[in-house]
Structure 1
Amino acid sequence: MDDDTLLEHSWEVREESLYKQHFGDTGPGIHPLDMDLLHGVFQQEDIDPRWLHVGVFACPPHGERRHWVYVSSGLSNAWEGVHEDGDSGFGVELLLETRDEAPWALTTLRWFTAYQLLLCHSRMPGGPLAPWHRLKLGMPVDRADSELQAMVFIPSPHFPGPQQLPSGRFDFLQLLPLTLDEHAFGREHDFETVLAQLTAAGAAPVVDPERRGIALTP
């Protein structure tokens, strides 16, 4: 199978088989990255047209899953053929789970998908996002009055990997918004403890931007 055929076949397997198996309904279609985001927000002048095929699905509740899932598609595209390390493309897709349909979640995941794409192409300082990376957002995650103003990236609890495509494997890297106090606790102690205690309190991995901070203990 040549590289172009492998790319197209793996793309179809991801979106029409693997994603339907995991998420059921993937919504009316993909929300692709666009020039407004890549040029207007990230100030990119030289834009690879292939990047405009990367995007995000907004998956409504399906079956026993009563919450929304936002998931990227395209970061695992094997544009350059098969990798020796076994990864498909950049070996990752981003994911965010929310209690309700959330325009802010779509905006946030599209932004981080573009950011990851640029990191992987060395267009931004720093290495690609990976499990347990964290950062402050500088604003509420919902662009309103949420107390969640930081982010940690976690291995997806509901959709553990690796996921297998004909072109190689990838993992879901999940976004988990935090309060600034939770973020500070994680930096002082560890973010695995943060995730465990938020999960026990029903505050993770599905996100409610209206939740209050959770009192964490070492």
Structure 2
Amino acid sequence: MSSMEDVWAYREETLYPRLFGPERTGIYVLDFDDFKALGAEDVDPRWLHLGVFEFAPTPARNTWLYVTSGGSTPWETEPADYDPEDYSWIGSELVIEVPSQPQDQWAIKLLRRLLAYNVLLAHSHFGEDKQPFDYGDRIPVGEAIREKGTVALRHVALMEPKHYPATAQLDSGRFDFLHLVGINDSERNWAKAHSSEALLRLLEVHGGAPVTDARRKAVV
């Protein structure tokens, strides 16, 4: 029977390299400030082991890819209670792809902040009616995704990836990859009227998804 450490090691040492390539840096772990910025003072020390990996381009993928690690760790489940058919802990990990390596590490900072936010959602920090992230969600991120002379992508939309498996299996249960795509204010407003799914399809047609390129033009 796999321990929590075995599950954790499999995800980071076997699954992620298989999906995203052998060259990586990290893990860039969360800290108290990531949670304090979201209004949380009481932080479970285990949450400070969660973080983000940076994967370099591969022969099959010419982008830099960033993925969280920890949202699927079975922190609160004993091995005897693992259910492969159920979700493992929060049941998701966050991913974003960009054309080139950001000099200011905004992709790492963004995923750290959103991972902390998702953990707090899962523990009802913002109220029982607030649920963890799921496909189709739109999340404001300020001006985290911006390059000089471009329109700020102040939001992300969460899409189901098609170019790598959307769901992965651990001994402790399964989890979904939630793929982030940066969107601007006008696109967010259009999605409110037409749905995130419609916007993401439009972005795919115009090359704005699944890769987040801060230099692209608005599609609406």
In structure 2, runs of 5+ residues without a counterpart are none
How many angstroms does 1:153 deviate by?
1.2
Corresponding position of 2:209: 204
Measure the CA separation in 2 of the matches of 1:66 and 1:84: 33
- Judge conservation of contact 1:147–1:210 (CA < 8 Å) in 2: no
Instruction: Give 5+ residue unaligned stretches, structure 1.
Output: none
Give the match for residue 9 of structure 1. 6
* Contact 1:19–1:26 (Cα < 8 Å) also in 2: no
Q: Distance in 1 between matches of 2:84 and 2:117?
A: 25
Map 1:175-214 → 2, pairs under 5 A: 175-214=180-219
Q: What is the alpha-carbon distance in structure 2 between the residues aligned to residue 156 and residue 26 of structure 1?
A: 21
Residue type at the aligned position of 1:133:
D
Secondary structure of the structure 2 residue equivalent to 1:78? coil
Deviation of the 1:84 alpha carbon: 8.2
Deviation larger for 108-117 or 189-198: 189-198
Residues 141 and 149 in structure 1, CA contact (< 8 A), matched pair in contact too: yes
Match of 2:17 in 1: 20
Where do residues 42-57 of structure 1 align in structure 2 (5 Å cutoff)?
A: 42-57=38-53
**What letter corresponds to residue 164 of structure 1 in structure 2?**
Q
The RMSD of aligned alpha carbons is 1.9
What's the offset of the Cα at 1:140? 5.5
Residue 117 of structure 1: how far off its partner (Å): 0.8
Name 1:63's counterpart in structure 2.
59
Farther-moved stretch of structure 1 (138-147 vs 198-207): 138-147
**Alpha-carbon contact 1:37-1:111 (below 8 Å) kept:** yes
Aligned residues: 211
Alpha-carbon offset, residue 150 of structure 1 = 2.0
1:124 alignment counterpart? 126
- Equivalent residue number for residue 30 of structure 1: 27
| Structure 1: distance between partners of 2:26 and 2:142 | 30
Q: Larger deviation: 123-132 or 16-25?
A: 123-132
The TM-score normalised by the length of structure 1 is 0.89
Q: How does 1:31-180 map to 2 (within 5 A)?
A: 31-39=28-36, 41-81=37-77, 82-83=82-83, 86-102=86-102, 103-125=105-127, 126-139=130-143, 141-142=145-146, 145-180=150-185
